[in-house]
Amino acid sequence: MAERRPTVYEVGKAHMIGGIVSGIFIVWGIPLLATVAGMEGSGWLDWIVLPLLFVWVVIFGVRSLMIVCPNCGKSIFQRGIWSVFWPAKTCSRCGIDLTTATGKDRDA
Ligand SMILES: [Zn+2]
């Protein structure tokens, strides 16, 4: 049985959920853990949370741009000039159905 490749939409959705979960963890999880450990309020948290948040935004943004329509290469998170949080089900440029299209194999 051949392994079913995830569709572009599924990849985008998994990316979205992973991004939201990791974002919530950075903003709430780490301070919460620090509070539980009794280490809050000393100001050091900002030095961990803010850089992490910055790295998260960069990684998340770059990965979003790398999840593209297999037909025309347009980012599935872009609708026209806008970038949106949820992947498109159909490509806004060429109209391909992204819930059935799978990503192309990239050269390793
Ligand atoms: Zn397209």
- Mean pLDDT in residue range 83-95: 88
Q: Is the pLDDT of residue 108 over 60?
A: no
In a domain, 67, yes or no: yes
CA of 12 to the centre of ligand 1 (A): 14
In a domain, 63, yes or no: yes
In a domain, 12, yes or no: yes
- Mean pLDDT in residue range 40-47: 75
In a domain, 72, yes or no: yes
In a domain, 52, yes or no: yes
CA of 72 to the centre of ligand 1 (A): 4
Ranges of beta strands (E only) in 26-81 are: 78-79
pLDDT digits (tens, 9 = 90+) for 47-73: 888 899 999 999 998 998 899 999 999
In a domain, 2, yes or no: yes
pLDDT of residue 2: 60
| pLDDT greater at residue 82 or residue 17 | 17
Total number of domains in the chain: 1
Residues with beta carbon < 5 A to ion ligand 1? Answer: 69, 71-72, 74, 91, 93-94, 96
In a domain, 105, yes or no: no
pTM of the full structure:
0.78
* Residue 41, phi-psi category: left (phi > 0), alpha (psi -120 to 50), beta (remainder): left
Domain hosting residue 24, numbered range: 1-35+44-99
In a domain, 87, yes or no: yes
Q: Is the pLDDT of residue 84 over 70?
A: yes
pLDDT of residue 17: 94
d(CA 21, CA 105): 27
